[in-house]
Structure 1
Amino acid sequence: MLFRTLKLYRTPILLILGCFAFYFSFAYDLDRSDFIKLIGLYAGLFFLSFKLIQMQKNNFWLLAGLALLFRLVFLFALPNLSQDYFRFIWDGRLLASGWNPYEFTPVELMEKTGFAMQQGLSLFKGMGSLSAGHFSNYPPLNQLIFAIGGVLSPGSILGSVVIYRLIIILADLGTLIVGRKLLKSFGLPEHRIFWYILNPFMIIESVGNLHFEAVMVFFLLWSLYLLHHKKWMIGAIVFGLSVSVKLLPLLFLPLFFNYFRTSGVADSSSMNDSKFRLKFLWFNKLIGFYSLVFLTVVISFLPFFSTAVFNNFLSSVGLWFGKFEFNASIYYLVRWAGYQVKGYNIIETAGKYLPMVTIAIILALSFFRKYTNSRKLLTNMLFAVTGYLLLSTTVHPWYLAIPLMLSVFTEYRYMLVWSALVMLSYFAYSNAAYAESYLLISLEYILVTGVLVRELFFSSKPYKL
Structure 2
Amino acid sequence: MKALKQYNNFLFPVIGSIVLYLLFAYNLDRSEFIKLLLLYAGLFFCAWRIIEYSKFNFWVLAAMGVGFRLLFSPAIPNLSQDFYRFLWDGRLLVQGVNPYSSTPQLFFTDLSTALQVTSGKEVAQAAQLYAGMGDLNAGHYSNYPPINQLCFAIAGFFAGKSIVGSVLVLRILIILADIGILYFGKKLLERLNLPVKNIFWYFLNPFILIELTGNLHFEGVMLFFLIWSLYLLHKNNWFWAAVSLGISVSVKLLPLLLLPLFYKWFFKKEVSIALNLISSFKFYVVVLGTVLLTFAPFLSSEFISNFSATISLWFQNFEFNASVYYIIRWIGFQTVGWNLIGTVGKVLPVFVILILLALTFFRKNTTTQQLITAMLLAVTAYFLLSTTVHPWYIATPLVLSVFTKYKFPIVWSAVVMLSYSAYGADGFKENLWLVAVEYIIVMAFAITEIVAQSGEQKGNFRVVE
- Verify same fold: TM over 0.5: yes
Indicate conservation of the 8 Å contact 2:267/2:273, yes or no: no
Question: Is the CA contact 1:153–1:160 (under 8 Å) kept in the aligned structure 2?
Answer: yes
Partner in structure 1 of residue 257 of structure 2: 251
Check if 1:112 corresponds to 2:111: yes
Name the CA shift for 1:148/1:443 in 2 (closer, same or farther; >3 Å): same
Which structure 2 residues correspond to residues 384-403 of structure 1 after superposition, within 5 A?
384-403=378-397
Are the aligned partners of 2:142 and 2:307 in contact in 1 as well (CA < 8 Å)? yes
Distance 1:356 1:57, change over 3 A: farther
Q: Distance in 2 between matches of 1:326 and 1:184?
A: 38
Match of 1:271 in 2: none
Separation in structure 2 between the aligned mates of residue 37 and residue 263 of structure 1, nearest angstrom: 56
Structure 1 residue 422 displacement after superposition: 0.2
The partner residue of 1:94 within 60, 77, 92 is 92
Shift of 1:107: 1.1
Q: 1:458: how far off?
A: 4.5
**1:220 matched to 2:226:** yes
Q: Confirm or deny that 1:333 pairs with 2:327.
A: yes
2:186 aligned with 1:173 = no
Residue correspondence of structure 1 range 116-265 to structure 2 within 5 A: 116-262=122-268
The change in CA–CA distance for 1:316 and 1:263 in structure 2 (over 3 A counts) is: farther
Counterpart selection for 2:31 from 26, 30, 33 = 33
Q: Aligned match of 2:289 in 283, 295, 309?
A: 295
CA RMSD of aligned residues (A): 1.6
Q: Kindly state the Cα deviation for residue 11 of structure 1 after the two structures are TM-superposed.
A: 2.2
The residue number in structure 1 matching 2:17 is 19
SS at match of 2:428: coil
Is residue 452 from structure 1 mapped to residue 446 from structure 2 by the alignment? yes
Q: Is the 8 A contact 1:263 1:371 kept in 2?
A: no
Matching residue of 1:316: 310
Post-superposition Cα deviations, 1:261-313, rounded to whole Å, max 9, x if no partner, equal 2488xx6xxxxxxxxxx431111111111111111111111111211111100
Give the alignment's TM-score, normalised by structure 2.
0.94
Q: 1:263, 1:374 within 8 Å by CA — same for their partners in 2?
A: no
**2:266·2:366 contact (CA, 8 Å) conserved in 1?**
no
What is the rounded CA distance, in whole Å, between the counterparts of 1:153 and 1:279 in structure 2? Answer: 53
* Residue-by-residue CA offset, 1:373-426 (whole Å, 9 max, x unaligned): 110000000000000000000000011111100101111111111000000000
Residue 365 of structure 2 contacts residue 371 of structure 2 at CA under 8 Å; is this kept in 1? Answer: yes
Indicate the SS of the match to 1:9: helix
Tell me the CA shift for residue 431 of structure 1. Answer: 3.7
Q: Is the 8 A contact 2:184 2:228 kept in 1?
A: yes
- In the alignment, structure 2 segments of 5+ residues that lack a partner are 458-465
Give the Å deviation of 1:235. Answer: 0.5
> Is the Cα contact below 8 Å between 2:9 and 2:49 reproduced in 1?
no
The CA distance in 1 between the partners of 2:7 and 2:300, in whole Å, is 61
Percent identity at matched positions? 52
Post-superposition offset of 1:56: 2.9
Give the equivalent residue in structure 2 for 1:69.
67
Question: 1 CA distance for matches of 2:353 and 2:41?
Answer: 35
Q: Which amino acid in 2 is paired with 1:396?
A: H
Using the alignment, how far apart are the partners of 1:252 and 1:426 within structure 2?
28
| Per-residue CA distance 1:89-135 (angstroms, 9 max, x = gap) | 00000000111000000011223344531100000010000010000
Q: Tell me the matched-pair count.
A: 448
1:379 to 373, 384, 392: 373
Deviation at 1:145, TM superposition (A): 0.4
Partner residue in 1 for 2:416: 422
Supply the distance in 1 between the matched residues of 2:263 and 2:191 (Cα, whole angstroms).
Answer: 22
For residues 74 and 188 of structure 2, the distance between their equivalents in structure 1, rounded to whole angstroms, comes to 33
- Kindly report structure 1 stretches of 4+ aligned residues shifted beyond 3 Å: 3-8, 458-462
